[in-house]
Amino acid sequence: MGTAESEAVSPRNLVAARSARRRRNLNEHLTGFAFLAPQLIGLVVFMVGPLVFALILAFSHWDGFGTRSFAGLANFEKVISDPQLRRSAVNTVWFTVLQVPVAMLSAFAVAFMLQRAGRMKSFYRTFYFAPVVTSSVAVAAIWLWLFNPDISPLNNLLRSIGLPAPDWLQDARFVIPAFAIVGIWQGLGYQIVMFMAGLENIPVTLLEAADIDGAGEWQKLRRITLPLLSPTILFLSITSIIGSFQVFDYIYVFMDTTAPAPARTVVYEIVQIAFREFDFGTASALAAILFIVLLALTAVQLAVQKKWVHYTE
C-alpha cells in the first residue's frame, strides 16, 4: 500500500500528470476559442477595430481619402470651441431630459395597469410593442404628417381645447420636444415589456404577506414593488440614456442634411462633419467625447445603484 502510494506521488508521475492536465486545459481553451472565433472575429473587425481607428482619427487630420497627419489635441479644441457643437450638445441633453423620465414613468404606469388586464394582456402588449418593430423611416413619415402645422390633427386637437398649436419642426422651442414625443412613442413598447417582465418576477408571497399585514396598494408599491423592480429600472435608465444621447435617425429622416441649429444633436453633427464636411478627425474627436461622457454617466449610475437597487435571491 505504502509502496503503491509512494509510486503514485513520485515526482515523475506528478510531472506527467501536470503535463497531461496542461495539455487538456490547452485543448479545452483552444476548443473554446474555436467556438468563440466567429463572434470574436466579428467583434474585433466590426467593433474593436473601428473603435481603435476612431480614436486614432480623433488625434489626426483626415478628409477621408488623403494622407493622415497627427493633429494633437487640435480636433478636441475645435469641438470644444465651436458654438454650434455646444448648442447641439445642449439639444441632446434637453432631448434626454425630456425623453428618458417621461418614457420610463409612462412605461411603468402602463405595465403596472397591464398586470391587471387579464386575458387582454397579450393583445395590449402587442399593441404597445408595434411601434418598436416599425422602421424609423415609417415612424418619421407618420409623425411628419402629425407635426405638419397646416394639416396636423394633433394641432387641430390642441386648438379645439384652446391650446396654442405650435409649428413643431420649425419653431426652435418645440423641435426637440417634438423629437422626444416621437422617441417616447416608439420606445414605450420595449420598456413596457421589460417592466412587465420585472413585475412578473416579484414573488407573489411577498405581496400576499403584505396584504395579511394590512398594507395598502400604495404601501405595497412603494415598499415591495419598486424596490424589487429597481434592477429593471437601473437597466432601462442606463440603456435609455445611452440611446437618447445617440438620437439621430428621426432628425435625419425629418430634416435630411439641412437641419436647423435648434434641431441638431451630437450624433447628427458627427455625421455632418464626417460625411458633409469631410473632416473625419473632428467628427471622431466629437464621437470620442460622447463615448467618454456616456462611459462616465454609466459609471456614475452603476456606482450609485448600490444605494437604491435591490437584488432578490
Partner 1 sequence: MNDLISRRRLLSLGATTVGAMGAGSLLSACGSGGSAVEAGKGSVTWAAWANPGEAERFKKYSADYQSRTGVKTTFQAVVGDYQAKLLSQLAGSAAADAFYVGDGQMAKVAESKQLVDLTSYLSSGNSPVKESDFHPGLLEVCKTPDGKLFGLPVDCNPKVFWFNADLLAKAGVSQTPAQLFDAGGWTQDALTSLLDNVRKTGKRGMILEAGWFDLPAWLTTFGGTVFDADGKAVFDTDEKSQQAMAWLFEQLASGNITYGGSLPKGQGVDALFYAGELATITYGRWILPNLKQLKFGYDIVPLPSPGGKEIMPVPVATAAIAVNTKAKSMDAALAFAAAYVSKDGQKFRLSGGGNAVPAVAGLDEVVTEGDLPAHGKLFTEIATKGYPIPRVLARNVQLASDFPTYMDQLLKSKAETAKSFSQKLVAKLNGGQ
Q: Which residues bind partner 1 (CB under 8 A)?
A: 35, 37-38, 42, 63-66, 84, 141, 144-145, 147-148, 150, 169-170, 172, 253-261, 271-272, 274-279
- Nearer CB in complex with partner 1: 84/312: 84
Looking at residue 253, the DSSP 8-state letter turns out to be H
| Choice between 23 and 121, CB closer to partner 1 | 23
Which pairs from 166-169 meet CB under 8 Å and 24+ separation? 169/144, 169/254, 169/255, 169/263
Looking at the Cβ atoms of 172 and 197, the one nearer to partner 1 is 172
Q: How far is CA 260 from CA 209, 247, 256, in A?
A: 57, 16, 10
Which residue is listed with cell 460622447?
Answer: 290
Q: How far is the CB of 263 from partner 1 (least distance, A)?
A: 8
Q: C-beta of 254: minimal distance to partner 1 in Å?
A: 5
Residue 276 near residue 260 (C-beta atoms within 8 A): no
Q: In the numeric block, which cell numbers belong to residue 285? A: 474627436
Q: Which is nearer to partner 1, 138 or 300 (CB)?
A: 138
Question: What whole-number distance in Å separates Cα of residue 220 and Cα of residue 121?
Answer: 22
Q: For partner 1, which is the closer residue by CB, 42 or 72? A: 42
E strand or H helix at 290, and its extent? Answer: helix 280-308
User: Other CB atoms closer than 10 Å to residue 47's CB: what's the count?
Assistant: 10
Q: To the nearest whole angstrom, how small is the minimum distance from the Cβ of residue 34 to partner 1?
A: 9
Query: What is the nearest approach in angstroms of partner 1 to the Cβ of residue 146?
Result: 11
Cβ 70 to partner 1, closest distance in Å?
19
Assign residue 300 a region: left if phi > 0, alpha if psi is -120 to 50, beta otherwise? Answer: alpha
